[in-house]
Amino acid sequence: MNLGSAPGKKGYWEVRPGGGGFRPEGPVPFQPWAKALYDYRTARFTIDSPLVDCKASPGPSFFNAPGFEFVDVPEQKSIFILNIAGPHSWRVIYMDGRPHPKPEDLRPTFLGHSTGRWDGDTLVIDSVGFNEKQWAVGAYPTTDKLHLTERISRPNLKTLIYEATIDDPGAYTKPWSGRFTINEKTASKWIPNGEIFEYICEDADR
């Protein structure tokens, strides 16, 4: 299964502002402090979001405008996900069966440590080791206890289905999930023969 371009082909997933749109599948089981912080962030989202300051974000927030691309490198047993957006960052998904480092050996980072496997035609990504500076799921708070599971599938050339489960006992009373879909009917689309482009993010002083 190839989530990006086939060998010898070009293409990337374009994300329009507001397009795609990660949505919870039900009520979010906030802890009280997390709900209060979510409400505060929502009121000031474009001001406080780390993406505005060119900081990387993992999980659902990684897949934002203008777009992204999957690059499968079998000889390295890794899949790279490249982001065109402000941080112009990339994620490494280790596909060689390695475990996560022991908790005491993890260095919390913006993107965490991600391992992957194929479940049929669905890429399953398991990530831990996040710092508390990133916003993995829009304005929804997370802590360093976050365990993120993502499932990404491509039922046809122009459709991408993304699902994520947020398991963070530091911020929520139980795990919760959400999803987005890109297809021919959404504002965001697969761009055949397209190539990701340079996007410069300026880190503004505050």
- Its pTM stands at 0.93
Complete edge-to-edge strand list for the sheet that includes strand 67-73: 23-24, 176-182, 159-167, 147-156, 122-128, 113-119, 90-94, 78-83, 67-73, 11-14, 189-192
pLDDT, position 46: 63
φ/ψ (deg, to 5) at 43? -70, -25
Q: Is 16 exposed, middle or buried (0-12, 13-18, 19+ CB in 10 A)?
A: middle
CA dist 12 and 70 (Å) reads: 8
Please give the DSSP secondary-structure letter assigned to residue 199. -
Please choose, from the candidates 74, 68, 51, the residue with its C-alpha nearest in 3D space to the C-alpha of residue 190.
68
The 10 Å Cβ neighbour count of residue 121 is 12
DSSP-based helix, strand, coil % in the chain, nearest 5? 15, 35, 50
What string of pLDDT tens digits covers the 206 residues of the chain?
A: 889 988 888 999 999 876 557 899 999 999 999 999 999 998 886 667 887 778 888 999 999 888 999 999 999 999 999 998 766 789 999 999 999 999 899 999 999 999 999 999 999 999 999 999 999 998 999 999 999 999 999 999 999 999 999 999 999 999 999 999 999 999 999 999 999 888 877 644 54
Strand ranges in the chain using DSSP code E only, listed in sequence order? 11-14, 23-24, 67-73, 78-83, 90-94, 113-119, 122-128, 147-156, 159-167, 176-182, 189-192
